Chains A and B, each alone.
Chain A
C-alpha cells in the first residue's frame, strides 16, 4: 500500500547549496555539502516525500544579489523563472504562517533566544507537523531536542541516501539519521 509521503522542511541554506553546485570557489567540505543538499532535494521530484515550502525561504532566495542588479536582465529573468518553476512544481507545498506559527515563533525566539526568521522556520515545521527539518545552520540545528520542537527531527542533510521506498527514514538511511540525532542530543546534554 502506498503511504502518503512524509512532509519535510528544507532551510534556505540547503537550497543555496544546490544553486551553487559546481561553483569554482566551492572546495572540499563545500562540495560535500552541495552534494548532500542536492541528493536530498532530488528526492522531492520522485514524489517520495513532500517539501514544505516556507514563505521566508522563498523570500530569501528571491531577494539576493544573485537575482539583483549586477546581473544582466535577461539572465536575471531566466534565473527567476527557473526558481519560480522549481518551487511551483509538484512536490513543494506552501506552509502558511498563521497565528499558531506566530505564537510558537515568538515563544522560540523568547525561550531559545532565536532570531525571528530562524524561529519562524522552526515554528512552521513544528506547527505543520513536518517529520524533519534539514539545515546546515548551527543556529537551527541546536534546536534538536528542545521541548518546544516536540517530535520534529532537526538535522543536516544526511551523508547517504538509501535507494529505498517508504518512509523518509528509509530514504535517508535510518541508522545514520538516528545516530546523528543521538549524538547531537548527547552533546547538547553535556553542554548544559
Chain B
C-alpha cells in the first residue's frame, strides 16, 4: 500500500488537513521522540514561513487538523480566524517546495530560517523507527517525498543562503591559493579555532604577502553555516596584531588592592548590570 493510500484509510481526529508531515514506519516501532519532533518541526516550519513571508503580520495560530497513527501523520491548519493568511502561507510553502524539488532552488522570499526549519523536517527519518518522510498539503495527492536528492537540494540551498554578517577572523595564515580569479588565504581563526578561507581582491595581494607570517585580524563580510560555524570571509581590510605571549594572572592580581572604596565583586557586577 502506498503511503497516501494508507493515510486516506486511517482514522483521524479532525478534518481539512492543510500542511502535514507523514513519517513512514511501523507505529509500534516509531519512537515517542520521533513523534515529538514531527509535531515540533511542522510547527517550526509554519512559524518560520509566517515570519519570512508575512513579516509584520500577526502570526497565525495553527491548530491540529490531522493526527493519525498510520505510521505517523500530522497536519496543521490555521485557526479559523487566521484562515486567510494561513491558507496563503500554506500555498506559498507548497509552491516553494515544488520549486525546490523541480528547480533545485528556493524562492527568493524564503529566508534562512525557513530553510533551517525545512532541513529539520528532512532529518526526521533519523529517529528510531522512522523509515521515511513525506510532506503533504491539502491531501496526500499533493505529497512530496523527502528523498536523498531533495535533502541535498535543501542542504545546497542552505549553503547558498548562508547569512552574511560583518565580522572578523584573527590568527595566522596557514594556506594560500588562487581560485576563479580571486586570491584566497586560509586563516587559523583563534576565536572559532577553525580554519576559515578569506577571499580578497588583488589590491591587497602584495601587502598581504609581505605580512603573511604575522598575526592578522581581517574583517569583512562573514558567512556562517547553519550551525554558526564561520565558513568564509570576504575581506574589507586587515591589521597586523602583535604575537601573543603567555601572561600570568599575577600581572593583574591585586591591581586594585589600594582601592579604599572597594565593593564586593558581585555588587560591583550588579551595579553595572542592574537598572538604577
Q: Distance in Å from the Cβ of A74 to the closest Cβ of chain B?
A: 14
Binary interface encoding of chain B residues 258-274 relative to chain A, with 1 for a CB under 8 A from any of its CBs, else 0: 11111011101110111
Chain B binder among A95-103, A143-151, A178-186: A95-103
Query: For residue A116, which residues in chain B have a CB less than 8 angstroms away from its CB?
Result: 273
Bound CA–CA A93/B262 (angstroms): 29
Query: For residue B248, which residues in chain A have a CB less than 8 angstroms away from its CB?
Result: 42, 45
Bound CA–CA A183/B7 (angstroms): 49
Please give me the residue from chain A that is nearest to B244 by CB atom: A90
Bound CA–CA A60/B251 (angstroms): 18
Number of interface residues of B (CB under 8 A): 39
Q: Distance in Å from the Cβ of B91 to the closest Cβ of chain A?
A: 28
Bound CA–CA A24/B254 (angstroms): 11
B228 interface hit (Cβ, 8 Å): yes
Q: Given A98-B228, A99-B165, A118-B273, A18–B257 Cβ distance below 8 Å?
A: no
Bound CA–CA A98/B273 (angstroms): 20
- A85 close to B265 (CB less than 8 A): no
- B228 close to A137 (CB less than 8 A): no
- A23 close to B249 (CB less than 8 A): no
- B255 close to A83 (CB less than 8 A): yes
Q: Given A90-B245, A94-B191, A98-B224, A18–B273 Cβ distance below 8 Å?
A: no
Chain B binder among A6-14, A158-166, A167-175: A6-14
Bound CA–CA A155/B269 (angstroms): 16
**Dominant secondary structure at the A interface:** helix
- A45 close to B265 (CB less than 8 A): no
Bound CA–CA A118/B244 (angstroms): 29
- A93 close to B259 (CB less than 8 A): no
Q: Give the bracket for the number of chain A residues in contact with chain B.
A: 35 or more
Q: Distance in Å from the Cβ of B131 to the closest Cβ of chain A?
A: 29
- A20 close to B262 (CB less than 8 A): yes
B163 interface hit (Cβ, 8 Å): yes
- B245 close to A23 (CB less than 8 A): no
- A21 close to B244 (CB less than 8 A): no
Please give me the residue from chain A that is nearest to B228 by CB atom: A100
- B264 close to A23 (CB less than 8 A): no
Query: For residue B244, which residues in chain A have a CB less than 8 angstroms away from its CB?
Result: 88-90
A188 interface hit (Cβ, 8 Å): no
Query: For residue B190, which residues in chain A have a CB less than 8 angstroms away from its CB?
Result: 93-94
B206 interface hit (Cβ, 8 Å): no
Bound CA–CA A14/B269 (angstroms): 10
* Residue among B253, B268, B270 making CB contact with A21, cutoff 8 Å: B253
- B191 close to A21 (CB less than 8 A): no
- A20 close to B272 (CB less than 8 A): no
Residues of B154-209 at the interface with A, using a CB-CB cut-off of 8 Å, are 163, 165, 167-168, 170, 190-191, 193
Give 12 pairs: A residue, B residue, CB < 8 Å, sorted on A. Answer: A15-B252, A16-B265, A19-B254, A19-B256, A20-B254, A20-B262, A22-B254, A30-B264, A45-B247, A65-B261, A82-B251, A90-B244
Excluding A45-B248, A94-B191, 5 further A-B contacts by CB distance (< 8 Å) are A19-B255, A64-B268, A82-B255, A88-B244, A137-B266
Which A residues contact B (CB, under 8 angstroms)? 4, 11-26, 30, 33, 37-38, 41-42, 44-45, 47, 60, 63-66, 79, 82-83, 85-86, 88-91, 93-96, 98-100, 115-118, 127, 136-139
